[in-house]
Amino acid sequence: MNIKSSNLSYHISYWIFVIITLSLVFGLSWGSNLAAFYFICMLLPIVFGTSYFFNYVLVPRFYLKKKLFKFGLYSFYTVVISLYLEMIVLMFSFIYLGHFSFENLGPNASDTVLLGVILYLLVFVGSFLLMAQQIKENQDKIKNLLLEKEKSKITQLEIVSNRKKTKIPYQDILYIESLTDYIQIHTSTVPITSKEKISNLAARLPDSFLRIHRSFVINKEQVKSFTSSEIIIGEQTLNIGRSYKALVREDLKNI
């Protein structure tokens, strides 16, 4: 199982939540939210590094591969090193925030056991949330793969054209164009029109089709050549929409 989540906003939101929550909790105890915020920011690199090392190195390399002895051993080393770094942060806090007096830092700053518990509580909570997010992403991928598998079983497009059901083999379709109030399916023989929306039609098509513009869906197997702004299919040159360029470049890079 790959535990890395591709959702960057999820990570950013989690750490912002951690900073705000801990600043408020320590601030209530100290009587100064600002001093607590500075102290949490000094501790944050340790929490951040420990959390991602545990989640992205120890868990995938050892725990998920059933190498439990190494997982336990390296986890112990991680605890020792992180607590050692935590003591260094306390020393600097003692100098810069406490002015050489722990009384100025508040009652919890010198409690290394409490800080250690908080540190690893954040690590394990973050690990749980990260895995929950990854499970959801994997479920979505599986759902999309099953949907794509169902689409691949169908070898032709069925639409209503001139009030009649028409079946068009996928290999005959060059591209689909959205016009004012209808779509036109350009084939290797004659174009076929329909009142169906291009967005609905694109959702029904298999992975061999790609939307490159709000007005165009192409058959990737019919692409002759392409640039960063245009695609040539048959005798036609189609523009790539600005918002579709990254997707098109990634999808067509192996063609």
Domain map of the chain by residue range? 8-151, 156-251
Q: Is the pTM of this model over 0.85?
A: no
Is pLDDT of 249 > 80? yes
Is pLDDT of 136 > 80? no
What are the strands of the beta sheet with 192-194, ordered from one edge? 192-194, 183-187, 173-178, 216-219, 209-213
Is pLDDT of 129 > 90? no
CA distances 229 to 191, 212, 242, Å, are 25, 10, 8
Nearest to 178 by CA among 247, 235, 241: 241
Nearest to 177 by CA among 162, 160, 194, 157: 194
Q: For residue 231, what are the β-bridge partners?
A: 226, 238
Cα–Cα distance between 92 and 81 in angstroms, integer? 17
- Write out pLDDT tens, residues 159-173: 888 888 888 888 899
Token output for 156: 């032709």
* pLDDT value, residue 232: 92
**Percent of the chain scored above 90 by pLDDT?**
18
Q: Which amino acid is at 90?
A: L
The sign of the CA dihedral 95, 98, 103, 105 is: negative
Reduced DSSP (H G I as helix, E B as strand, rest coil) percent helix, strand, coil of the chain, to 5 = 60, 20, 20
* pLDDT value, residue 92: 73
- Write out pLDDT tens, residues 67-92: 889 988 988 888 888 878 877 877 77
Residue 178 confidence class, pLDDT cut points 50, 70, 90: very high
Is pLDDT of 100 > 90? no
Nearest to 26 by CA among 128, 110, 121, 126: 110
- Write out pLDDT tens, residues 17-63: 878 877 777 776 666 677 778 777 877 888 888 888 887 888 888 87
Is pLDDT of 113 > 60? no
How many beta carbons lie within 10 A of that of residue 107, not counting itself?
A: 12
- State which fold the 156-251 domain adopts: OB fold (Dihydrolipoamide Acetyltransferase, E2P) (2.40.50)
Radius of gyration of the chain (CA): 28
The helix/strand/coil state of 75 is helix
Provide the mean pLDDT of the chain. 79
Strand pairing report for 173-178 and 164-169: unpaired
CA distances 128 to 32, 105, 122, 212, 234, Å, are 31, 31, 10, 38, 52
The sign of the CA dihedral 120, 121, 125, 128 is: positive
